[in-house]
Amino acid sequence: MEPIESSVKIFPGTGSLDLAKKIAEAYGKPLGNYSSQRFSDGELSYSFNESIRGCDVFLIQSTCPPADNLMELLLMIDAARRASAKYVTIVVPYFGYARQDRKDRPRVSIAAKLVANVMQSAGADRLMAMDLHAGQIQGFFDIPVDHLDGTAIFVPYLQSLNLDALTFASPDVGGVARTRTFAKHFSADMVICDKHRKRANEIASMQVIGDVTDRDVVLIDDLIDTGGTLCRAAQLIKEKGARTVRAICTHPVLSGNAYANINSSVLEELVVTDTLPLKQQSSKIKVLTVSDLFAKAINNIHSHGSISSLFINN
């Protein structure tokens, strides 16, 4: 008897339903049939309404707050494993808890490692994510990790703007490597905003290292939460003589007063992706979709093709 090639089946979590629909459409097949329900006490339940035995199953869910999104993903993984899926790949465009990737003070949890442990314990065979807060989080997993790069989305957009005095800026020292990737690709200069925090989401002081006079400055970050750091950096860069200031952030977490901060800022625009759904619309926020990139990655994983071929540097 000839072996039967396993088929691809794509299922969404409720937190990433719109993105999952776009990815499935870009891949060329509909989402799988599933049910997700919540009991009156808030308890979650997830089930597959079609056979996935022997299939390559891709489960799409960003683990953004609230924690229900993470819990639902774990239920999806467990259900797929118990339904005899051949291979379970979790597609987590935004990997939550990634900012807690080390012990930066005594007696705290390394939450990113904890999340990695529970995902693997639930039965995931592979993780696909985009622009992790820190690249070393890949090492928290003992399964293959495909770390997609947002530059493949943002570089073509920046090229379309035809900015003739381009300079890239990192809003903090930790984002230098990410910013340098953009600067290197465009053969452009880069500057650094050095900040000192009193506590989480509160900046004590900030200074710009480098010259931004008469430059079109693009701030680069992996995510934007309250927007305090980014908007303050933009204001400081503008005061230093920049011609325009815009920002690129892969993951629009946008909590607290984020929308008010952005709308009242000096930013020309904030360019984000749809790894997370926007809570409200803003004339200053432009959303680029990652659906085509993830669809190509799913195809390459299933066909044992190259993932690095999807990076802009290649």
Residues marked active site are found at 195
CB 97 within 8 A of CB 113: no
E strand or H helix at 272:
strand 270-273
* Exposed/middle/buried for residue 87 (C-beta within 10 Å: 0-12, 13-18, 19+): middle
Q: Which residues contact 187 (CB under 8 A, 6 or more apart)?
A: none
Tell me the C-alpha distance between 102 and 266, whole Å: 33
Q: Where are the beta strands (DSSP E) in 61-201?
A: 87-92, 126-130, 145-148, 166-170, 189-199
CB 39 within 8 A of CB 53: no
Give the CA distances from residue 68 to residues 61, 74, 127, in Å, rounded to whole numbers and listed in that order.
11, 10, 19
Q: Return the closest-CA partner of residue 255 out of 96, 121, 104, 52.
A: 96
Tell me the C-alpha distance between 224 and 177, whole Å: 17
Q: Which residues contact 255 (CB under 8 A, 6 or more apart)?
A: 65, 225, 226
